[in-house]
Chains A and B, each alone.
Chain A
Amino acid sequence: MGAPGLPDGRPGANPAAATATRRVGDGTELATGETGDSLRAPAVSLSGVTIAFPLKGGATYVAVEGADLAVAAGEFVAIVGPTGCGKSTLLNASAGLLEPRGGSVRIFGAPLAGLNRRAGYLFQADALMPWKSALDNVAVALEPKGVGRRDAEGQGRRWLERVGLKAFVTSYPHMLSGGQRKRVALAQMLIRDPEILLMDEPFGPLDAQTRQIMGNLLLKLWAQDRKAVLFVTHDLEEAIALADRVVVMSAGPAARIIGQYPVSLSRPRDTADIRLDPEFHRIHREIWAQLRVEVQKTYGDSDMAG
């Protein structure tokens, strides 16, 4: 767990983030370490982002329309929405893997061109190189930064230890369980020390218990040096348990951001215990009232209930 004294607050770069803070930290650790640009500009800022794909026969499918979203430095934002609403496309636009049809993506104030070099990405599917051992998978992430092989392996070992895989350094991905593979992927992303973490339903394929454990591990690692996080999930409980702010998207096509809810639960949190908190229930009820409508739209079935 992170230090209990860590403040919730961070420089309020946008109104939603500001309302999310209960206590504004004085002399926060993260603020002193930030550079000028990240203090002012949000880590990720999407304005009027529209994402469309060409279909066969010349038609276009508009996945996301006019999305405005800002993630402050050090803020943990979760995006929830019904299946196929374009949550992941929004994330891919922030990563630079996808070029939006309209609108702009700014990273710490600068327009994003090409891949987002300041972000790390945790994929939903297995993204490890199957031909590399756990250690090689983590260590290779430092190669683009020009870190020497020996140094990279040393850091890789430390990171694998941090995610609880000390005994699996030489294992290949197929020898690891789904949760263990996610831990390797987490270490692979974090070893590069990216300023922004983009996560696309990273714990989606895992079983319920493993998700809890992974959620706690993520929060623990995040608390050490709070990065801006954009976390996509279809699981509202997971979103509330992890995030400072929950963003709700409408059903697709042409999905929009229809709600933003600050989560005023204190940190450090335990993702399992926090679900018993009355405040958790209040927030859950509030968001679910809106989300359920969208989920029902997706299924076109008014009997569909949570």
Chain B
Amino acid sequence: MSRAALLACQVVVGLVMLAVWHAVTVYPIFGAPKQVQFFFSTPLDVIARVVREFSGTEIWRHLFITLQETLLAFLFGAGGGIVVGFIFARSDVVAAIFDPYIKAANALPRVVLAPIFALWFGLGIWSKVALGFTLVFFIVFFNVYQGVREVSPVVLANARMLGMNGRQLLRHVYWPAALTWMFSSLHTSVGFALVGAVVGEYLGASAGLGYKIHEAESVFDVTGVFAGMAILSAFVIAIDALVTLAENRLLAWRPGQGGAR
């Protein structure tokens, strides 16, 4: 399928969904439109609300806060995951000792941590960063651990025969191998950083997209909730596009990468 045809199909699917939504909320198909609209709003109202939001300046502040939290959560989570993943992969003893604790910590649903983080770090951005960190850290950690452990033995032996010392092996072999695995999970980990930020905001904050949606929900403003979700989705797609761009640049050496999308 050509790129244009694909895009056309994608747009048609979106329009059909909006049309169905519009039809069932504006015409009396499943009940009185007023009643239905209370629960589901209408696409035109939601679009109007989104436009109104963006004509003001407040939404940009919320977006900026959420973006800030997402980036910080990603940077700290990825940094911590890389360092710990490296240490664990290079030392079997350390990995064996900490194994049950890592598993236990990873098994914990992060939502239960949110109130504690709010208590520790306050209602500002840092409690959200902490929540995002706990999500990103484990994804990156497991990937880096795997990546370093599964470096091709032939590539490693070859690098050693080239006379590389420990530092050079780290730089030319282990590090790129670990990065590969980290980047393969980049979409997931950036997504989780955002989830951490939004959930944190949702549970207690004074700014950010999650806060905005929560605020609308608490006054039964369904249009506001849908508008918030629409903005959030667009935000996620924009970030994901940036990640794809970064990935294509950094993993240009990989077969099938670069220009694949």
Contacts and interface: CB of A to CB of B under 8 A. Distances in A.
Contact of B161 (A120, A128, A143, A173): A120
A141 B253 contact: no
A97 B155 CA distance: 13
Contacts of A121: 157-158, 161
Given A117-B163, A143-B168, A127 B253 contact: no
A27 interface: no
A21 interface: no
Contact of A144 (B155, B164, B177, B255): B164
Interface string B191-217: 000000000000000000000000000
A289 to B, nearest CB: 35
Contacts of A145: 163
A166 interface: no
Interface string B88-108: 000000000000000000000
A185 B161 CA distance: 12
Interface string B147-175: 00000001101111111110010001100
Contacts of A140: 162, 172
Nearest to A143: B168
A119 B162 CA distance: 9
Interface in B127-160: 154-155, 157-160
Contacts of A130: 155, 253-254
Contact of A127 (B154, B176, B180, B252): B154
10 contacts: A126-B155, A127-B158, A132-B172, A133-B253, A140-B162, A144-B164, A144-B168, A174-B253, A174-B254, A192-B163
Q: For the complex, would chain A's binding face be called helix, strand, loop or mixed by DSSP majority?
A: loop
Given A129-B176, A143-B168, A95 B253 contact: no
Nearest to A136: B172
Nearest to B253: A172
Interface in B175-191: 176-177, 180
Counting chain B residues whose Cβ lies within 8 A of the other chain, the interface size class is 20 to 34
A228 to B, nearest CB: 16
Please give me the 7 A-B residue pairs with the lowest Cβ-Cβ distance, nearest first.
A127-B158, A144-B163, A172-B253, A121-B161, A131-B176, A174-B255, A125-B154
A115 interface: yes
Contacts of A50: none
Interface residues of A, number: 29
Contacts of B168: 143-144
Interface string A130-152: 11110000001101110000000
B155 A128 contact: yes
Nearest to B156: A127
Contacts of A133: 253
A144 B162 contact: yes
A188 interface: yes
A110 B94 CA distance: 38
Contacts of A185: 158
Nearest to A115: B160
A131 B161 contact: no
Interface in A153-194: 172-174, 185, 188, 192
The residue in A127, A128, A141, A145 that gathers the most chain B C-beta atoms within 10 A of its C-beta is A127
Contact of B159 (A95, A117, A129): A129
Nearest to A114: B160
B157 A123 contact: yes
Contacts of B173: 129
A185 B252 CA distance: 21
Given A121-B158, A144-B168, 13 more contacts: A95-B161, A97-B160, A115-B161, A115-B163, A119-B161, A125-B154, A126-B155, A127-B154, A131-B177, A131-B180, A140-B162, A144-B163, A192-B163
A141 B255 contact: no
B35 to A, nearest CB: 60
B157 A188 contact: no
A262 B161 CA distance: 29
A141 B154 contact: no
A115 B172 CA distance: 19
